[in-house]
Amino acid sequence: MSIQRDAPSASSMDLCGISYLWRIATEVQCHDVAGKSCNMLMNLHLNLGPELKAEAMSIRRTLLEETLRKLLAAAGTVNAASPSDVYGRCLSDRRVVSKEEISHASFCALRCVHLLLDLLERCSSRTMPQKPSHLASYSAHVQRLDVTCSMPKSHAQRLSFFVSTSDYVGRLRQAVAARLGAPPEKIRLLSSGHELNSDAKLIRQVGIGDGHVISALVSDVPNCYTKPSPTEALDESPIAIITGQEGIFEALLSLADSPRMLQDSRQLATILLHTLPTWPAVPHNILTALFSDQPGQALGQLLDGAGPMPSMRRLYFIESLLSLLCPSGGASSALPTDKTPQQMMAVFLESGCLEQVLRTTGLSHDGGFKPCAAPDRHMLAQILIVVGVLLQAALLPTAARRASSLAAREESAEDIHLSTPRDHSRAGLASLSQSALKMVVHHLVNAACACGRGSGLPDESTGSDVLLEGEQVVVTESLKLLTRMATSHAQALQFFVEHPNVQQLVSGNLLNRHSGTVRLSLSQSLVQIFCSPDNARREIETELEPACPRPSGAFWLLRTLVSIRPKAELQPEFCGDYFSVLLSSLKHLSLPHEVQAAEDLLVSEIESLKGARPPVSDSDDWLVGQLRLIQELIRTLNRQNAGSRHGCGLVNLLVTKLLFPEAVVLKSALLPAGSSAQGGQEADPMDPERVRSALHTPCSSAEARAAALDLLSQVMSGDPASLAEGVQLLFDLHYTSEPLWDYEHQPVFQRRVQQRFCGLKNAGATCYMNSTIQQLFMTEGLRRLLLEAEKAPDDHKADSVLYQLQVMFAHLALSSLDFYIPQQFWRAFKDYDGEPINLREHQDAFEFLTRLQDLVDQQLSDARQLKVMKETMGGKFAQQVICRGVSYRSETEQDFMSISVDIRGKHNLLESLSSYVQGELMEGENAYYCEGIGRKVDAVKRACVKTLPNTLVIHLKRFEFDFDTMMRWKVRDRFEFPMELNMYEYTVEGLAEAEGQQATDKRADDYYEYQLVGIVVHSGTAFVGHYYSYIKERSQGPSNGSWWIFDDTNVEAWDPSNLDRDCFGGRSVTEVYDSNAKQNVLQEYDRPNSAYLLVYERTNPICGEAGGSGGAG
C-alpha cells in the first residue's frame, strides 16, 4: 500500500488490516473515527495501483457486496424484535434482542448506508442513467423554465418549457437540442453564471426555480457526459449491484421506518431509497391490483389490509403508484406494462382507487382531522405532497401531460413556448362519482387545515412559529387544486362550502401567524373561487331558514369573513390579506338583502372606528384595512353623506379622533375659561392623560394617515354638507390670529413611532451639535431644570440660546414627528467671537459642548436663575502641591464641567485617570518655593477631584496637533472604558487613603459609583468625519433602560454588546478579495469610529448638594 495525495492506494488486496478497518467502521461509536475508517476502506478499494487496474470492477463489487452483507445483517437485528411482511406490517413471531445488540446494529446500519451513499457519489457518472432513480420516476412539481438560446451567425431565441422538478438536466438538454437542430452533446447550459455540466442531476438539485432563465450555447466541442460511456457494463454499475442484492429494499424500508433508528439514520436510508431505481415488486403489485376484478378493494388490501402500513412504506407505495399514473419523461418509456398511463388513470378513477389512496393520509372526509405528532409530521407532509401531485394528475390531466412533454413549438420568431392543449379539467372531474368528488374536496380542505395549523397557535410539540417547508407546500398546493376544482365544477364548490372545517380553514389560514405565503395563497384562492364571473352570483345551498334567500358566492364569502372579524381583530399584524379579500367580496353585491348587510357593516365599522386606539406595535395594518374597508363600502353603497353629522359623522371622527387630536387639545387650552372647543362640559384642557392620549394618535404611521386622508377626501368631495363641515372644522382647529411659528407650517415628513425618540435634522455638518444635544436632552435632571427655567423676554427669544434650547427640548419630548429641524437654534448660536456658525463647516463636539455650557449658564446667571449646566455637570478640582521632606501642603479649588484625559499610550480609562491624578515632580530649577519655610523644596503638583457631579463628562483626547508638520491628527489607538466606574481612588480622600493618611471627607460608597449612560462617537479623520451618539434610556434610573443610537434624524435601538466593535477604536481584521492572488486574504485596518466623549451618571443621584445637586433629581 502507498500514500498518494493524502489518500491510500492499494497495490494488493491481501492486506491483514482490512478486517480491522471494517470493525472500526461498524463498531466504534465515535463518528469521526468511524468516518475516517470508511474513507480508508473506499480509498483502498477505489484508488488502485497499476497492478490492480484490471481487477477494478471485481474489487469494487467486493466492497459493495461486503457492505450490503453487513447492512442486511444489521437491519435483520434491528427489526428482529418485530419482524414484518413485505409492506412493513408486524408479524406474530418475534425474538428477544438485547438493547446492546440493537444499538450496535443501528450504528452498523448507519455506517453501511453512509458508505453506500459515498460509494455512489464517488462512482457516479455525469451521464443521465438509463433507469431513472425512484425520485425521478414520477412527474412532481411543474414549473416554467425560460431558455435563451445563442447560435453562431443567428439571432438569440427564447424558448419556454414546462418541466417537472424530477426531470433530469439531460432531458432538458435533449429538448433544447431537438429545437435547435444540434446534437445534445454540443449544447452547453448555464444558470446563474455556472455551467450545468452533469446530465445525471435533477432539475430540483441544480437550484432552478419557477420562471428561472438559463442560457443555452451551441459549442463546436462535444461534452463527455451526454452520450453513455461504453467502457462499463450496465450490470457492473454500483446501482445495479445494490439493486440486485436480494432483500436490500426490504432492509432499507424497514430501517427508514424503524423507531429504533436515529432520525439521521432514517433520513439516510430514505435518501438511498430515492437514489436507487424503484423497487420492481411494488409497481408489479400495484399493476396486479389495478387490473384485478375489484381494483379498489385490491389496492386497499395492499395499503391497509393487514394493519396500517408504516409511514415511509406508505410514501414509497404512493410514489410508485404515481410513477405509473404520471411518469416523468425519462420513466415513461420504461414502464413495466404495456398499458398506457391514460389507461391506468382511467381504471384508477373509475374503480374507487382514488378514495383508497386518500384514506392513507389519515385525513377523514367526514370533516374531522387529528394533527399528527411532531416526528411524523414531516412524513405526512411528504405523503400529502405526493397525493396532491397524484390528484392533479388524475383530475387535471393537462398539467401532467404538459409536465412530461419537453417538446416546444414555435409561435413567433422571438417567442417559443410549449404547446398547451385545451384544459380538460371538467372532463377529469366529471369522471368521478359524487362521493369521490366530495371526498377529494374534503381531503384537500383537511390537508390545508392540518398542515397550516389553522388554529393560529404555536405548535405545542415543537414550539415553532413557522411552518415546515413541506407543510407550506401542502397548504399552497391543496389550495391551488381546490381553486381549480371549485371554479370548474359547481358541485365541487358546494362540497367546499358544506365542509364543517371551512370556517376554520378561512380564519386559521387567512390569519395564519406562521406563514405569509399561506395567507397570500388562501386570499388569492378565495377571490378566484367566490369572486369569479361564474361563482360570484351562483347560488349556494346553506343551512338557513326556508324564508332566507340562498346566498351568492360573493355574499357567502362576505358573511364568512364578517363572522371571523373578532379573531382578525385579535391578530392585527396578520390582517392585511383578510381585508384584501373582504374588499374584493364587496364588488359583487347587488340584491337588496346583500346591500342591507353592507349597510349594517358600514355602520358597525364606523362605530368600531370611534374606539380606535394607538397600535401596540409598529404595525397599523388593522386601522389601515378598516379605513380602506369603510372607503370601499361608501363607494359601493354610494353613501357620500356618511361624512356629515346628519349621516354617520365620519368627518368629525376622522379630523378630531384620528388625524389631529393634538389640535383639539391645543384649541381647548387657548379658549377662555368656561368654554369648550367641542361645546361639552368644562374640563382641564391640559390634563396629562388627555395630552398623552392626543399625542399618541391611532394614526401614527404614514400609511394609516394616508388612508385616513384618502377617506376624508372622498367623503368631503362627494357631499357638499360634508365639505362645508370639514372645512369649518379644519379652520377652527388650525387657524389662529397670532403669527405662525416656523414649525407649525413645516411639512409632516413622518410620524414618530411609539417607544422611539425624536431625531435632529443635519444642516450639512451639524452632526457635532446633534450628537451632543441629544446627550443633554436624555439627561433627565438637566432636561427638567432647563425646561423649568423662566423663558426669555419676547424681544430676546430669537437670539437666546437658552430659549431656543428649551424649544428644541420641548419638541424632542412631545413632537409626533420623527425628527425636528432646529433652525432657530442655528441662528441663535454664536461662536466665541460672537459670529454665526457656518452650518456646513465641520466642528469639534467637545468645543461645542463647552461653548453651549458657557452660553446657557451665562444667560441663566444674567436672569438671576440657577446655573443648570453647573448644577448638573459641574464639579470641583483640588489643585494640590505637596512638599517633600517638609510637612506643608497647598490646596486650591477649581471648577470643572468635564475631565479631559490622554489616550495615546494608554490602554483604558482607569489607566488614564490614574495618570491624570499622578501629577508632576517639581525639582531642581523647577523646585517649588515654599512660603512656610521661605525656600525652594522638591514637591509634587497634581490635580484631583474634590467634588463629583451627578453627571460626569469625560473627554478623550483623540485629536492632537503635530508641531513638526503643523497639522492636526487623530489618535486611532484602541482605548477601553468600563460600563461601571468607581471614582473614589481619583478623589482627594481616595488619594489620601492610598498614601496612608486619614481620609476625613470620605462619603458613602455610592457617591463614587457611576454607570455609563452616553457615548459620543467620531468616525473619520481629523479633517472630516461624522459624530453620532449612543445613549442609554434611563427614565427608571441609570441602571435600567435600553440603549439607542442617535444619528441625526435616524434613531434606532443599539445592542451594547457591540461596545468593543463600535466604540473602542484600534485595529480590526477583515477578509478581502485579492485580485492578484485570486483569493480572499486577511487584511488589517484602523477602525474609523471611536469614542470621543463619555457620559457617566451617578448610580444613586444626590440632590441638594453644591457642585452637582439636582442633576437627576
Question: Could you tell me if 509 and 448 are in contact, meaning their C-beta atoms sit under 8 angstroms apart?
Answer: yes
Angle, helices 502-510 vs 516-530, to 10°: value is 130
In the chain, DSSP finds a helix count (H) and a strand count (E) of 40, 29
What is the structure's pLDDT at 669?
Answer: 61
In the DSSP assignment, the letter for residue 48 is: B
More confident of the two residues 1016 and 290: 1016
- Helix, strand, coil % in the chain, rounded to nearest 5: 50, 15, 35
Side-chain half-sphere CA neighbours of 898 within 13 A: 21
The helix or strand, by DSSP H or E, that contains position 809, with its residue range, turns out to be helix 801-814
What is the structure's pLDDT at 399?
Answer: 41
The residue-averaged pLDDT of 405-413 equals 39
What is the structure's pLDDT at 90?
Answer: 46
β 939-947/920-922 pair status = antiparallel
Q: Where are the alpha helices (DSSP H) in 453-591?
A: 469-488, 490-498, 502-510, 516-530, 553-563, 565-570, 576-585
Range in 460-464, 549-553, 825-829, 905-909 with the lowest mean pLDDT: 460-464
More confident of the two residues 745 and 932: 932
The residue-averaged pLDDT of 217-226 equals 86
Is 955 strand, coil or helix?
strand
What is the structure's pLDDT at 747?
Answer: 47
Residue 444 dihedral angles phi and psi, to the nearest 5°:
-65, -40
Question: In angstroms, rounded to a whole number, what is the distance separating the alpha carbons of residues 410 and 417?
Answer: 7
Q: Where are the alpha helices (DSSP H) in 531-660?
A: 553-563, 565-570, 576-585, 592-610, 621-637, 650-653
Q: What are the start-end ranges of the E strands in 815-874?
A: 819-820
Distance of CA 631 to the CA centre of its chain: 32
Confidence of residue 107 (pLDDT cuts 50, 70, 90): confident
Question: In angstroms, rounded to a whole number, what is the distance separating the alpha carbons of residues 1008 and 987?
Answer: 9
CA-nearest of 811, 887, 888, 898 to 853 is 898
Residues with Cβ < 8 Å from 738, sequence gap 6 or more? none
Q: How far apart are the first and last CA of the chain?
A: 84
The residue-averaged pLDDT of 568-597 equals 86
Instruction: Name the most confidently modeled range: 148-152, 494-498, 699-703, 1007-1011.
Output: 1007-1011
β 212-218/142-150 pair status = parallel
pLDDT digits 0-9 by tens, 968-1018: 888 989 999 999 999 999 998 998 888 888 777 888 888 999 999 999 999
Q: What are the start-end ranges of the E strands in 679-821?
A: 759-760, 819-820
Residue 1011 dihedral angles phi and psi, to the nearest 5°:
-115, 140
Question: In angstroms, rounded to a whole number, what is the distance separating the alpha carbons of residues 1048 and 810?
Answer: 17
Question: In angstroms, rounded to a whole number, what is the distance separating the alpha carbons of residues 957 and 954?
Answer: 10
Question: Could you tell me if 623 and 706 are in contact, meaning their C-beta atoms sit under 8 angstroms apart?
Answer: no
The residue-averaged pLDDT of 767-795 equals 91
What is the structure's pLDDT at 1059?
Answer: 93
Mean pLDDT, rounded, of the chain? 79
Confidence of residue 643 (pLDDT cuts 50, 70, 90): confident
Question: In angstroms, rounded to a whole number, what is the distance separating the alpha carbons of residues 359 and 1068?
Answer: 62
pLDDT digits 0-9 by tens, 739-778: 544 444 444 456 666 667 889 999 889 999 999 999 999 9
pLDDT digits 0-9 by tens, 499-551: 888 888 888 888 888 888 888 988 999 998 888 877 777 777 765 445 566 78
Residue 163 Cα distances to 195, 204, 218, 420, angstroms: 19, 10, 21, 13
Strand-pairing partners, residue 1096, are 952, 1012
What is the structure's pLDDT at 470?
Answer: 65
What is the structure's pLDDT at 766?
Answer: 92
Angle, helices 18-27 vs 31-46, to 10°: value is 140
What is the structure's pLDDT at 388?
Answer: 67
The residue-averaged pLDDT of 356-380 equals 57
Total Cβ atoms within 10 A of residue 868 = 27
Question: In angstroms, rounded to a whole number, what is the distance separating the alpha carbons of residues 655 and 661?
Answer: 7
Q: Is the pLDDT of residue 412 over 60?
A: no
More confident of the two residues 363 and 842: 842
Distance of CA 221 to the CA centre of its chain: 46
pLDDT digits 0-9 by tens, 236-288: 788 888 888 888 999 898 888 887 777 778 888 889 999 999 999 999 998 98
What is the structure's pLDDT at 1046?
Answer: 95
Question: In angstroms, rounded to a whole number, what is the distance separating the alpha carbons of residues 74 and 676?
Answer: 89
Percent of the chain with pLDDT over 70: 80
Confidence of residue 332 (pLDDT cuts 50, 70, 90): low
* Long-range contacts formed by 56-65: CB under 8 A, 24+ apart: 57/232, 57/236, 59/13, 60/123, 60/238, 61/236, 61/241, 62/13, 63/119, 64/116, 64/119, 64/238, 64/241, 64/242, 65/241, 65/245
Range in 298-312, 471-485, 577-591 with the lowest mean pLDDT: 298-312
What is the structure's pLDDT at 363?
Answer: 66
Sign of the Cα torsion 502, 506, 512, 518 reads positive
What is the structure's pLDDT at 770?
Answer: 95
Question: In angstroms, rounded to a whole number, what is the distance separating the alpha carbons of residues 719 and 980?
Answer: 65
Question: In angstroms, rounded to a whole number, what is the distance separating the alpha carbons of residues 1008 and 913?
Answer: 14
More confident of the two residues 522 and 97: 522
β 980-982/935-937 pair status = unpaired
Question: In angstroms, rounded to a whole number, what is the distance separating the alpha carbons of residues 101 and 345?
Answer: 47
What are the grid coordinates assigned to 68, written together?
A: 450490503
Residues with Cβ < 8 Å from 143, sequence gap 6 or more? 162, 163, 164, 165, 209, 210, 211, 212
Sign of the Cα torsion 1020, 1025, 1026, 1032 reads positive
The residue-averaged pLDDT of 808-820 equals 85
What are the grid coordinates assigned to 633, written together?
A: 363600502
Question: Could you tell me if 504 and 444 are in contact, meaning their C-beta atoms sit under 8 angstroms apart?
Answer: no
Total Cβ atoms within 10 A of residue 652 = 17
More confident of the two residues 977 and 140: 977
Question: Could you tell me if 805 and 869 are in contact, meaning their C-beta atoms sit under 8 angstroms apart?
Answer: no
What is the structure's pLDDT at 1018?
Answer: 94
What is the structure's pLDDT at 58?
Answer: 85
Classify residue 417 by burial, with Cβ atoms within 10 Å: 0-12, 13-18, 19+. Answer: middle
Distance of CA 489 to the CA centre of its chain: 39
What are the grid coordinates assigned to 245, written together?
A: 442484492
In the DSSP assignment, the letter for residue 37 is: H
What are the grid coordinates assigned to 807, written together?
A: 424649544
The residue-averaged pLDDT of 195-203 equals 87
Residue type at 252 in one-letter notation: L
Confidence of residue 1026 (pLDDT cuts 50, 70, 90): very high
Question: In angstroms, rounded to a whole number, what is the distance separating the alpha carbons of residues 336 and 332?
Answer: 10
What are the grid coordinates assigned to 84, written together?
A: 414484518
What is the structure's pLDDT at 1029?
Answer: 96
Total Cβ atoms within 10 A of residue 88 = 24
Residue 633 Cα distances to 381, 425, 713, 995, angstroms: 41, 36, 15, 84
Range in 50-59, 216-225, 1015-1024 with the lowest mean pLDDT: 50-59
Question: In angstroms, rounded to a whole number, what is the distance separating the alpha carbons of residues 787 and 585?
Answer: 55
Question: In angstroms, rounded to a whole number, what is the distance separating the alpha carbons of residues 626 and 615?
Answer: 13
In the DSSP assignment, the letter for residue 655 is: I
What is the structure's pLDDT at 25?
Answer: 85
Question: In angstroms, rounded to a whole number, what is the distance separating the alpha carbons of residues 263 and 107?
Answer: 12
What is the structure's pLDDT at 828?
Answer: 92
Confidence of residue 420 (pLDDT cuts 50, 70, 90): very low
* Long-range contacts formed by 1053-1062: CB under 8 A, 24+ apart: 1054/1030, 1056/979, 1056/1030, 1056/1032, 1059/979, 1060/976, 1061/1087, 1062/1017, 1062/1030, 1062/1089
The helix or strand, by DSSP H or E, that contains position 342, with its residue range, turns out to be helix 341-350
